[in-house]
Amino acid sequence: MFDLILGDGYPYPYPEGLTEQEQDDLAASLAVEDMRLKGVVSVEWRFELTIEFVDRESYDAAKATTGWEAWDEGALLLSATLEGREGRGDIPALIVGDKAYCRWMIVKGKD
């Protein structure tokens, strides 16, 4: 079992017209860990990014926190919202509400 950690969450959509200093200040304020989704069993990126959870409690908590749509309710799979234009390079950002996350990590969960 793992935790999916989302970090470097910046405003979505990205504000236009920021000065270089404002962009630097925004970048400096980003948290390495902004959100932690617990109870992740697997992450698969094929045609979309899906996240499977170990139990209904973890699934429901992640769904409520992220607003992501169910990919398969019975299998406890969510489909992450991605946005290519908001990412870095060729990697799309994960969208949660009014934030775009460019950092995500999978770490061993604590039992």
Alpha-carbon gap, residue 51 to 55, rounded angstroms: 12
pTM: 0.89
What does each of the 111 residues of the chain score in pLDDT, given as a tens digit?
Answer: 999 999 999 999 999 999 999 999 999 999 999 999 999 999 999 889 999 999 999 999 999 999 999 999 999 999 999 998 777 777 899 999 999 999 999 999 776
Alpha-carbon gap, residue 80 to 48, rounded angstroms: 8
71-89 pLDDT, tens per residue? 999 999 999 999 987 777 7
